[in-house]
Structure 1
């Protein structure tokens, strides 16, 4: 979340100069841990309801997964994944206040061995960082910046063969993914659409091997 950050779920967008607040990790070993949301223009963390839905979708894939959260913001998605069993998470964030908050919570949780925080632009990170073979990627860029297409172009070098991709976008403008991705689940609110995709060549397991219902 190198921005004004993350979209909201069921709640309407906050005012442009929203105040500081908190979100919480809602499942796993760090359940109910509060994450500070600094007072930054447009900062809107993903709602508890949307995250609960997402992690229900991902539940069979989380154990041992390597996670990439490209616009991390409060860290709610990446940290939730590790809390629920992911092996590691790489958080990428440009805003200095958010980077400081992320590093503080990682230290507070004693999670330095599992969670890395990279300070910088997400596109630049994708271009220059060593390939990480991520199993799960979260992409929720600033809506006004229109970064989905360049992210999708740069992402493949960082993906494991069976990668899963979660995307948030404006409700009326979910971006088209490049060839090779299949929709798995989708949902949304009046303002925000969210969807989970799988690579067409992925070798699936467990419940994720089933054909998704309409």
Structure 2
């Protein structure tokens, strides 16, 4: 998450106790993540995370996951809790970076790496690394922030394995036409309040897409 991202104006505050996010599944189920109190921080809601990890499968053993706009780190920590062997959290806000590192230390989460910096720049540096799952929850900002979302989707396409998955959280549903132009196809999608969420696969992965959409 950039400073102009989930902590920017227009985002809804986190539900529940301020500054705390609870892991909902896996090894660290019910563990609390302490989060720096920044105005407008928007962690992915519990029921959306539950749906997402039902789609991905509860066991992520052996997978490599990248959370590009980490914020609270809820998605990355959920992945690690479910067995992901490598999780990279990218975050720009210093206070949130400190929270992420403190939480990783407290949980002895050696599989988690926290990298401070601009998400787009750091994603570009990792082009071709073939991650299994990328979590993409860019800042909503004022309005829909389409340009940032479009650029993030383009960069993420160069990071995901041929049979990998991308989770997109956005203030609106992205259409099949828009996503196809960027090399993606929709496998699953839903809405919770003002948040639209999508599970995407690379457009070339036809066989894997058919299995996911039919399961």
Interval containing the TM-score (normalised by the shorter chain): 0.7 to 0.9
Q: 1:35 aligns with which of 33, 41, 56?
A: 33
- Determine whether 1:81 maps to 2:79: yes
Q: 1:141 aligns with which of 135, 138, 143?
A: 138
CA distance in 2, matches of 1:6, 1:197: 25
Correspondence 1:125 to 2:126: no
User: Match of 1:165?
Assistant: 166
Task: Tell me how far apart the structure 1 counterparts of residues 93 and 45 of structure 2 sit (CA, whole Å).
Answer: 20
* CA distance 1:212–1:180, change in 2 (3 Å): farther
Label 1:158 to 1:61 Cα distance change in 2 as closer, same or farther (>3 A).
farther
Displacement of 1:33 after TM fit? Answer: 1.0
Change beyond 3 A, Cα 1:124–1:33: same
Residue 66 of structure 1: aligned partner = 64
Normalising by the residue count of structure 1, what TM-score does the alignment of the two structures yield?
0.84
**Pair 1:212 & 2:214 matched:** yes
Aligned position for 2:174:
174
- Unaligned stretches of 5+ in structure 1? none
Aligned to 2:95: 97
Tell me, in whole angstroms, the C-alpha distance in 1 between the residues paired with 2:77 and 2:58. 17
Counterparts in 2 of 1:2 and 1:97: CA distance versus 1, 3 Å: same
Q: Is the 8 A contact 1:6 1:46 kept in 2?
A: no
Deviations along 1:39-98, whole A, 9 cap, x unmatched? 112112111111001000000672211101000011100110111121211110000000
CA-atom RMSD, angstroms? 2.8
**Contact 1:132–1:158 (CA<8 Å) still a contact in 2?**
yes
Deviation >6 Å, runs of 4+: none
TM-score (norm 2): 0.84
TM-superposed deviation, 1:200: 2.8
Give the distance between the partners of 2:45 and 2:116, measured in 1 at CA: 24
Residue in 2 that maps onto 1:111: 109
